[in-house]
Chains A and B, each alone.
Chain A
């Protein structure tokens, strides 16, 4: 059993996960990053994507977050997400549909088109798909 750090994942709606972990892997604004116990204090923005935690004992769990913030203290990791889901709850069909919808919106732009919004939607849908694929790889 390796050393561990306490990790909390909360979303605006509820608390998703709380417990001791050996590693947290999240999609930061500047690329994916892994946090092991004893990491230097860090604060970063999260992109929509999976947050993978390896719990004490080696069991792995994947969560989906649609953006948020990650705070690292030497003995505490906190993920403040806008909305988080357990990966098992992510619906692949719905994610695919949302991705197609966003791509379509980006493709035929009209005058009063909100580009940044559609791009954000696309990013979120792709992130959901990534989570589903990662989960499938695991099983």
Chain B
């Protein structure tokens, strides 16, 4: 029967799309679990080093490290962490929107913005949007290693050392839970002191060995660990967002299929009714 051939084709093509999206949902779900584990394993270190460094910022050190000094802001640096691949809902878009808003804010104050783009999506976004991309890094995969990041982080740290940028931020998606991810902008440099009242009096660490060597190493480690944690968290967000996006795509495909099936059945029924009435009409005419 020739009736509704197009509709049948459409239904079968949507069905195959639905199969793909549901497979992607399951893949993302299993990857998300692993990414979440990695994220929670790295968290204690990132949190501890952050608290150590914020103690440090509260101290009144004998040696005033570059990373502890506030400078007049002429140029700021952003490390923007995005995903490599799409099909993860509004994850990257929300992140870029927030970044662009911040960039505008700095531009209004007369400060320039340098960007270190991590992930294919950030690279292509800033290519089309414009923006001074000084370092780019992509294809970190699902298990990013700290070694790969160090190079691009160093570009930004060197720029900070040389006074080319006066503030450094990292932008990534914060994993709140499977359903919600929040774009987050965190200041890396200069260090921000924690609000702890019991640390307000003047004090300093005893440093072994020299304060300079120690702080250089520790603060570089701090920035690297924060960026690494950001990347790992972003991977978990990516998988969670993809899982949700693919789940709703699968659901939507199911809905469309149901609607089309209804239209198809109606059309078929109408054709049959018409044929019968033609036959009856023909028989009556004889």
Contact = CB atoms under 8 A, between A and B. Distances in A.
Most central of A33, A42, A43 by chain B CB within 10 Å: A43
Contacts of A40: 206
A101 interface: no
A13 B46 CA distance: 10
A42 B205 contact: yes
A109 interface: no
B49 interface: yes
Nearest to A42: B206
B206 A10 contact: no
Given A69-B52, A73-B55, A80-B52, A45 B45 contact: no
Given A12-B42, A13-B41, A43 B205 contact: yes
Interface residues of A, number: 22
B55 to A, nearest CB: 7
A56 interface: no
Interface stretch (B2-10, B176-184, B207-215, B245-253): B207-215
A41 B208 contact: no
A73 B206 CA distance: 11
A15 interface: yes
B44 interface: yes
Q: Is the interface of B mostly helix, strand, loop or mixed?
A: helix
Interface residues of B, number: 25
Interface string B166-207: 000000000000000000000000000000000000011111
B209 A71 contact: no
Interface string A1-17: 00000001011111100
B44 A15 contact: yes
Interface string A44-59: 1100000000000000
A43 B217 contact: no
Interface in A19-41: 28-30, 33, 40-41
A32 to B, nearest CB: 11
List of 4 A-B pairs having minimum Cβ-Cβ separation, nearest first: A15-B44, A44-B208, A43-B205, A42-B206
